[in-house]
Amino acid sequence: MKHLRWAAAVLMLAACADSPRRLSEPVALAPQPSVSSGISIQKQPSNHSAPPFVGPTTSGSAAWPEAPASPVDSAVAHCGPQQAQEFLIRGSYSPISTHRDAHEKVVRYRAETYGFLPGLTPAGWGSEPASAQISSTTFMGLPVQLHRKIFPALRCVEEEIQSECSETYKPQGLAGIRKRNTFRGGEITNHMFGIAIDIDPLRNTCCGCVEPWRSHPLCKNKSLRVEQRMAMPICWVQAFEHHGFYWLGHDPLQDTMHFEFLGDPNVSRSAAVLPQDDR
């Protein structure tokens, strides 16, 4: 019964309007069949489909056609370790009221690198919409739709988790691409560019988000460190961070479910495009 009440609270998030800087990250995503990307790990898909997570909607919806399901490169990833680029980290440009130039630099970089968002990014930033570069892949056996440029990095993360993480943790649901902006104050969520992924929104907390997350018992216990407020092992965080992703658990939002790719997509890239002496 408690679980049902929690799930019902999640479904009611669409009615929330009093967000503290950011609305919740989970979105309505129907389970999707896995599309072979060639870059995703070759393994048997999980029998557990991703549940439809529902979050609030706000103004700032971009024109968004259905994501194409065409496969990408059939190559393996070149797993070059890298860190998130400092200027892309949320703390470097938020709040926008005092960091407008830094925020503009970040939005322009994302639009030119991953595609523009109609109605949200200025004309001329990016040669094609981000939606044209979204495709389906799998992560840890679950389907997710993301920007094709980050598929190699995601594959590198999965390989490291499988080889380095001794803890057994099986995600039950993922959320990737988003059609509406769930940030307020002028920020644009990286989910809209397809470069952010949420892992188990019902199991990993976001203590700075709207209800019910900030009322979660793990959030109310002030003696806990942020990594103790999630079900996911910390080695997963470390694997993501080794390959250019940034964990919003470091942010004041303490969004433990959320990883966004802030590295250089050319570092973790398809081996098919590498010069012979770089392989």
Percent of the chain with pLDDT over 70: 69
Q: Bridge partners of 261?
A: 245
- Inter-residue contact 48 to 80 (CB < 8 Å): no
* pLDDT score for 48: 28
Rounded to whole angstroms, the Cα distance separating 85 from 103 reads 14
Split at pLDDT 50, 70, 90, the class of 156 is very high
* pLDDT score for 40: 30
Joined tokens for residue 260: 């966004």
Who wins on pLDDT, 138 or 36? Answer: 138
Q: List, for residues 169-202, the tens digit of each pLDDT value.
A: 999 999 999 999 988 888 999 999 999 999 998 8
Joined tokens for residue 64: 């968004």
Percent of the chain with pLDDT over 90: 53
Question: What backbone torsions phi and psi does residue 251 show, to the nearest 5 degrees?
Answer: -80, 160
Question: pTM of the full predicted structure?
Answer: 0.74
Who wins on pLDDT, 6 or 104? Answer: 104
- What SS3 class is residue 108? helix
- Sole residue written with tokens 């072979």: 36
Range in 146-155, 213-222, 266-275 with the lowest mean pLDDT: 266-275
* Confidence check: pLDDT of 41 > 50: no
* Confidence check: pLDDT of 19 > 60: no
How far is CA 247 from its chain centroid? 9
Per-residue pLDDT, averaged over 200-227, amounts to 86
Candidates 15, 56, 66, 90; CA nearest to 177 is: 66
